[in-house]
A = this chain, B = another copy of it.
């Protein structure tokens, strides 16, 4: 008796002996080798491609060669003709074992392939979606052994895919008979493995073979809603779109929206309807961009800060507007997307990441999933700055989170010339320490204001205001140029040197640009930024105290604000604690990335749910130390070790004394820079 041929799969190294004639895919399944398939071995989907190793594989003790498998079959020829098969590739479902083999499974044939992320220094996403497409051939009804169509579908799933314990969403049941008959008893079924309660849920069906399965990851921000249509088979982002949050009409910042609800009973219903409509608009946009049908969208994963989280779920956010800031629920939630009025595939499910605490939302859970502080050996600080700064600090060992009431100043609100980041907004600025003259760049124009052609280039939009990142820079530059002192007071004495320092009420303004509108920084603007940055720093500092540390190993700045600010200026102003500047990184829309990870990887949902449970939630409002840190952090710059490093790079002007206006309007000489 001859031994059965030995088959070794790479890269997994899994090996076993199989009878000659066994299809390679079947051998792979038996060994638990990760090879994708939608059609279940019918040479339709082309997902199960492999290459046959050729040569002697001393390590495995075998000689593998192309002639050790069955010849390229008619079925593969047809597939090659229809959809193309790269040289050397075989369909493992059609390739039969003849002799010893080393079979390579290329990454694109693996279900659990790695999806590389744009950002360096971040984990790749392992594909492990909760939704699986299964092509099935369903028995036709037979009056001699009556059974319902759905029972025969379940039987096909069990027999052809070993998927049991299935229930079915009602909107799918209503479409079942037409679909089966249209597909002539061959359909593709989408099975979702994380429905509430457990078991498998039949969530979508198509007649015949269907291999498009998509999900949308959505970050519902207070200002912007961002949606990423993602291919559940490849992990690729097929289309992205953003939309201003339509709730802005109910109030510019979060708390004013909560106030709207408080003042207008039932107002939360309007806001819920507005946000859900926006989610549907985005879904249509991204599917049209990608040229797919809304029915191909089988999942949606949502993140958002607590107020947005409550509003898109239809929960009145009033309780979040005052102490004790109780969430209705912070638990992860899986609900049919149709219950959120989302018009996707009618059986699609929505997954909402857990919230961490009353002011630390599912968006922060997304940041955690994306930046993985819980996997770090050294301390990582992750900050998502919005109306509140949501702060996570810690490492493998211990993780803390809090929210700090920065207010909307960083978003450009409550700043006299502040505006949202949009064309026409100043985003970069430099102030000459000698002349006190500014030069700046606006969004939508590559030129600096002192470059030729600037005025022509911006003619269409004009210069309309200063966005969040611009405000950080202007305050920092004002400080570096000596226009404001460490207490944040504008030095009126400088009015003599440059008329841009203008008296206004009892203080002085700094005029950035004359014209319509006049763009200037008022003393109040400086105060607003000081308050915001002090709040942020105090929150971070509070968590550092809890951990007993004085500096952090890595900083991740998430969100729109975090992506646009120059971290150097953030450190000059003292927004963030001591950290080697090269370990301070923008994390982009980390909340959205976290949503995408949860969309693509079922275990990532378990992971974030477990991590959120063990995060220690700190409520700044009840921590006396927070107030103390807050007061101390008002000065510019907050003293840090790194700051002195920074000072070596940027040259501070020599300022002897600072002149401010006293209560009587008269000049007062105050401090000297030491």
- Chain A residues within CB distance 8 Å of chain B: 140-151, 167-168, 170, 173-174, 176-178, 195-199, 201, 313-316, 318-319, 323-331, 333, 335, 339, 355, 357-358, 617, 619, 621-622
State A260–B509 Cα separation when bound (angstroms). Answer: 78
Assess whether A146 is in contact with B197, with CB atoms less than 8 Å apart. no
Given contacts A146-B358, A316-B174, A622-B143, contact A329 B151 (CB under 8 A): yes
Given contacts A143-B622, A174-B315, A315-B174, contact A148 B331 (CB under 8 A): yes
State A141–B325 Cα separation when bound (angstroms). Answer: 8
Given contacts A141-B324, A148-B326, A149-B326, contact A177 B319 (CB under 8 A): yes
**Chain B nearest CB, measured from A70 CB (Å):** 39
Contacts of A329 in B (CB 8 A): 148-151, 168, 173, 176
User: Which B residue sits closest to A152, measured CB to CB?
Assistant: B326
State A18–B177 Cα separation when bound (angstroms). Answer: 61
Determine which of B314, B319, B621 lies in contact with A143 in the assembled complex, contact meaning CB atoms within 8 Å: B621
Contacts of A316 in B (CB 8 A): 174, 177-178
Contacts of A168 in B (CB 8 A): 329
A-B contact pairs, 10 of them (CB 8 A): A141-B325, A143-B323, A144-B619, A146-B357, A148-B328, A149-B326, A173-B328, A174-B328, A196-B199, A198-B198
Assess whether A196 is in contact with B170, with CB atoms less than 8 Å apart. no
Contacts of A355 in B (CB 8 A): 148
The 4 tightest CB contacts between A and B, nearest first, are: A197-B197, A141-B326, A148-B327, A150-B329
Assess whether B330 is in contact with A151, with CB atoms less than 8 Å apart. yes
State A151–B354 Cα separation when bound (angstroms). Answer: 12
Assess whether A330 is in contact with B174, with CB atoms less than 8 Å apart. no
Contacts of A144 in B (CB 8 A): 619, 622
**Chain B nearest CB, measured from A513 CB (Å):** 45
State A324–B198 Cα separation when bound (angstroms). Answer: 34
Given contacts A196-B167, A197-B195, contact A330 B147 (CB under 8 A): yes
**Chain B nearest CB, measured from A141 CB (Å):** 4
Contacts of A140 in B (CB 8 A): 324
State A199–B197 Cα separation when bound (angstroms). Answer: 5
State A326–B619 Cα separation when bound (angstroms). Answer: 60
State A151–B621 Cα separation when bound (angstroms). Answer: 21
Contacts of A619 in B (CB 8 A): 143-144, 146
Contacts of A177 in B (CB 8 A): 315-316, 318-319, 326, 328
Contacts of A319 in B (CB 8 A): 149, 177
**Chain B nearest CB, measured from A309 CB (Å):** 11
User: Which B residue sits closest to A176, measured CB to CB?
Assistant: B328
Assess whether B173 is in contact with A313, with CB atoms less than 8 Å apart. yes
Assess whether A325 is in contact with B143, with CB atoms less than 8 Å apart. yes
**Chain B nearest CB, measured from A271 CB (Å):** 13
Given contacts A148-B327, A149-B327, 4 further A-B contacts (CB under 8 A): A148-B355, A170-B333, A173-B333, A174-B315
Determine which of B146, B313, B315 lies in contact with A617 in the assembled complex, contact meaning CB atoms within 8 Å: B146
Determine which of B196, B318, B333 lies in contact with A197 in the assembled complex, contact meaning CB atoms within 8 Å: B196
State A149–B324 Cα separation when bound (angstroms). Answer: 11
Assess whether A170 is in contact with B335, with CB atoms less than 8 Å apart. yes
Assess whether A325 is in contact with B195, with CB atoms less than 8 Å apart. no
Contacts of A176 in B (CB 8 A): 315, 328-329
**Chain B nearest CB, measured from A403 CB (Å):** 10
User: Which B residue sits closest to A355, measured CB to CB?
Assistant: B148
Contacts of A325 in B (CB 8 A): 141, 143, 146
User: Which B residue sits closest to A142, measured CB to CB?
Assistant: B324
State A492–B325 Cα separation when bound (angstroms). Answer: 91
**Chain B nearest CB, measured from A391 CB (Å):** 14
User: Which B residue sits closest to A165, measured CB to CB?
Assistant: B197
State A138–B330 Cα separation when bound (angstroms). Answer: 16
Assess whether A314 is in contact with B622, with CB atoms less than 8 Å apart. no
Contacts of A328 in B (CB 8 A): 148-150, 173-174, 176-177
State A331–B178 Cα separation when bound (angstroms). Answer: 18
State A143–B402 Cα separation when bound (angstroms). Answer: 11
Residue of A141, A178, A201, A355 contacting most chain B CB atoms (<10 Å): A141
**Chain B nearest CB, measured from A438 CB (Å):** 44
Assess whether A330 is in contact with B148, with CB atoms less than 8 Å apart. yes
Assess whether A339 is in contact with B170, with CB atoms less than 8 Å apart. yes
Residue of A142, A170, A318, A339 contacting most chain B CB atoms (<10 Å): A170
Contacts of A622 in B (CB 8 A): 143-144
State A328–B617 Cα separation when bound (angstroms). Answer: 50
User: Which B residue sits closest to A306, measured CB to CB?
Assistant: B148
User: Which B residue sits closest to A334, measured CB to CB?
Assistant: B167
User: Which B residue sits closest to A195, measured CB to CB?
Assistant: B197
Residue of A146, A197, A333 contacting most chain B CB atoms (<10 Å): A146
**Chain B nearest CB, measured from A275 CB (Å):** 14
State A621–B319 Cα separation when bound (angstroms). Answer: 64
**Chain B nearest CB, measured from A334 CB (Å):** 8
Assess whether A170 is in contact with B617, with CB atoms less than 8 Å apart. no
Contacts of A146 in B (CB 8 A): 324-325, 357-358, 617, 619
State A140–B331 Cα separation when bound (angstroms). Answer: 17
Contacts of A148 in B (CB 8 A): 326-331, 355
